[in-house]
Chains A and B, each alone.
Chain A
Amino acid sequence: MINRALLAGGVLILAACVSGSGQSPPTSITVYAAASLELPFDRIATPLMSTYHVAAVFDFAGTQTLTAQLMQGAQADVFASADSMHMNSLQDAGLLAGQPKVFARNRLEVAVEKGNPKGIRSLADLARPGVVVVLADPSVPAGRYAQQSLSKAGVTVHPASLEPQVTGVLSKVALGEADAGIVYVSDVVTSGKVDGIAIPDSQNVIADYPIAVLANAHDKAAAQEFITFLLSTEGQSILKQTGFEAA
């Protein structure tokens, strides 16, 4: 047992020596990102490393949670938000190093169980009796957009729960506890466990995703490289593959 651990340790040290022999260690940056960005950002990590030699460490959570943490003095290099409101409040607090840039857009969709057993076709169907609807809490961007979308459609729903994270909506639909929920298109694409029912443009809300370098960034240059890569053709195509729209 001990021998095996020693051996494993030795191999690790050896591997570190080999990989470290040619280049200096990569620059590491911390990226605070909205929960919905998990899949595209994880896919961006590898090409980012090979292009810029920058290793990104992600902290995914609800935009409002991350904003609250940054307001309380949390240290990070980049912030990618799911709405402009939270980004603006950080800018007003003087916590950004530059102007925020919109790097992606996302629209809303109704998430239903695979195969759509309740036959949901539109937002109006969410008001049908016997349909269990779960929404994001209005304090979360996805929840605020959902309310805007429902009021555009003139529909009043009585949600069974107001989830503090959009992922909570998604998991409750995926587990079959809720019949429908309003989430982002990217959530439907990346989850793969729910079906999406499109919401017409006239009733939809397009969410802007702004990104910015933070004032307390350890490495502003590397942080900027992350944003540049995200806006590049390669970065944008990764975002499109995961259900987002180009900026």
Chain B
Amino acid sequence: MSQARVPAPLLALAAGGLLLFLLPIAGLVIRAPWDQVGSQLVAPETATALGLSLFCSLTATALALVLGVPLAMVLARTSGLLRSTLRALTTLPMVLPPVVGGVALLIAFGRRGLVGSPLHQAFGVQIPFSTAAAVMAETFVAMPFLVIAVEGGLRGLDRRYAEAARALGAGSWKVFAQVTVPLVRPAIFSGAVLCWARALGEFGATITFAGNLPGRTQTVPLAVYVALETRPDGAIALSLVLLAVSLAILIAMRDRWLGAP
């Protein structure tokens, strides 16, 4: 018994969609200065940018997990106007141009910002131009991906498990940790992977809010952008490195955590 066949027009459209992804990547691979990729990889500035990118994106993902899973729970429990308002606010960073997000972050957390100004006056702290700013920018842009995924998982959940646990005397925290979280684990992991991937590629909010300084705020996308103008071969090599790292981690995560066939 064979599965129902995909209609030919849909197949053609799917092929078109796939080409749109694959052609630019193929171009990158074909045009790559392969003899330079090795030396690019070991170049100190590449290693610095790559290390910073991994640190910032993983920290942003961890932050998004700590803040985003509870937010998703709240979203899943609300309804009506409150829900649509909260959802719109949460997903706003997904539709906002990242540069606008960066400006908004500056206005909130900059030295003259709503929160940043009292911080600066009390402790002399300046968030922009710091690694913390790069992490914040990535979290701002990437967290909605996690929240949406987890909220979807929570809504699809059979309420009766939690109700049964509660009937057996479990407190709300215990229900959350031992019943709800294990049940939505696939959603949490897929959300975290999406969030991490988005954080790794973040550019606009980072450069606007955190600036561009090697070793402190210059992540790989920023390094690629700067290199593109002066040494395009280096930029392509650096892009390939980021592509390979992302692909390897995405494949590994998928098999390991999502149990995808």
Query: What residues make up the interface of A, taking CB atoms closer than 8 Å to B?
Result: 62, 64-65, 67-68, 132, 134, 137, 139-140, 159-164, 168, 172, 175-177
Contacts and interface: CB of A to CB of B under 8 A. Distances in A.
B230 A161 contact: no
Interface stretch (B45-53, B221-229, B252-260): B221-229
B226 A160 contact: no
A176 B110 CA distance: 8
A134 B216 CA distance: 14
Of the listed residues A64, A140, A159, A162, the one surrounded by the most CB atoms of chain B closer than 10 A to its CB is: A162
5 contacts: A140-B229, A162-B212, A164-B212, A164-B222, A172-B211
B212 A163 contact: yes
Contact of B213 (A62, A67, A160): A160
B112 A164 contact: no
Interface in B184-241: 207-208, 210-214, 217, 222, 225-230, 232
Nearest to A68: B229
B75 to A, nearest CB: 33
Given A160-B129, A161-B212, A177 B111 contact: yes
Given A134-B211, A161-B217, A139 B110 contact: no
A68 B207 contact: no
B160 to A, nearest CB: 49
A137 B112 contact: no
Given A137-B226, A161-B213, A175 B129 contact: no
The 3 closest A-B pairs by CB, nearest first: A161-B211, A64-B229, A160-B129
Contacts of A134: 129, 211
A141 to B, nearest CB: 11
A159 B106 CA distance: 18
A62 B229 contact: yes
B230 A139 contact: yes
